[in-house]
Amino acid sequence: MTGLTMTYLPVGKLKHGFLNELLPEIDVNSGVIVGPQIGEDAAVINFGDNYLVTTSDPITFATDEIGWYVVCVNSNDIAAMGATPKWFLVTILLPESETTTVMVQNIMTQLTDACRQFNITLCGGHTEVTSTVTQPVVIGQMMGVVAKDELVTSSDGCVNDDLILTKGIGIEATAIIAREYAHELDGKYNTHFLEKAKNYLMDPGISVLKDSEIAVATKGVHAMHDVTEGGIATAVHELAAASKLGAVVYSENLLNSDTMYSDITRRLCENYALNPLGVISSGALLIASDPAKSELICQELHAGRIGSAIIGKLLPLKQGLWLEHTSTKKEPLPIFETDEITKLSV
């Protein structure tokens, strides 16, 4: 390993270029249909008449309701592939000298309640108290199934596909800020505001299972991607990278829309000087759709009481990735090496 330069990495996802260097090539005879690659939400494995879809994700930003978060975040990765989440395993790492029986019981109750609500079987895992963590860390592995002709990937986006976003940006960030930093926000905002912000975990909620089911049923979906760490800007970058395309995001339809950027989220982001394009946004699903079906998808989502909007379009690769403010004013779509919400822990 001589000749390598030691570089300390920032908090958050690894940079795409570095991660690409690390990812292994998959043996074509292994049965793996979709392996590790930038922009894909889960692995896909040949499973007889169906595909087995599997993912693994930790919860590191939140501590309150961490069991609910981990089920939703992992099931979202499955749903973004057009699959149905079925089986869940979980590893729970708990801090030494701070873990109580009540804490563990609460986490397990959250896990079982979430699995029950989404018809998922909690079928195994591991629990441990350890000195290596300073707060609870919960890591999930979710598995699901999808018919072979119904698989959706991030890599099948097409030039001129519309980019549809469901629910809006910053849903998860809003819930995390209101729950984890309530001591800083008390007195700054009234009780009703803070309770509503905390409840973003449930309403509009951080699950995209229903969003995916409705969108896929229209037969107009080409690609989907779960909007998580790094926010909508990162999700667009990742979906575009997977599809080997460029993209434009319409600022007017995203940042100037009360549906896509709620007043509660806006006020909390402004309070902490967070760029809303880069805050963790579970609960939002990014859809690349056949332009002829985009309005239908939005109508069906609306009928299911899920807000949505066309917030951009996929472009040829050579045109790059842009944030368009007006027809004559645009800037490169920002890249967030670290999720904006990490600024709160500094």
Q: Which tens digit of pLDDT belongs to each residue from 223-260?
A: 999 999 999 999 999 999 999 999 999 999 999 999 99
Cα 225 to Cα 87, 90, 94, 114, 240: the distances in Å are: 21, 23, 31, 22, 10
**Has residue 182 been placed in a domain?**
yes
Residues 90 and 163 in one domain: no
Better-scored residue on pLDDT, 289 or 19: 289
- Number of structural domains (the chain) is 2
Q: Are 260 and 284 in contact (CB under 8 A)?
A: no
- Same domain membership, residue 255 and residue 110: no
pLDDT attached to residue 317 = 98
Same domain, 55 and 115: yes
In angstroms, the Cα distances linking 178 to 212, 262, 278 are 27, 14, 17
The reply to whether 279 falls in a domain is yes
Res 345: pLDDT:
66
Are 125 and 176 in the same domain?
Answer: no
Would residue 9 count as lying in a domain? Answer: no
**Which residue, 88, 116, 150, sits at the end of a domain?**
150
The confidence score (pLDDT) of residue 28 equals 64
Q: Give CA–CA dist 121/158, Å, rounded.
A: 35
62 & 179 share domain: no
Q: Which domain holds residue 72?
A: 16-150
pLDDT (tens digit, 9 = 90+) per residue, 140-198?
Answer: 999 999 999 999 999 999 999 999 999 999 999 999 999 999 999 998 999 999 999 99
In this structure, are 158 and 235 located in the same domain?
yes
- Please say which residue of 150, 179, 198 terminates a domain: 150
Q: Is residue 237 part of a domain?
A: yes
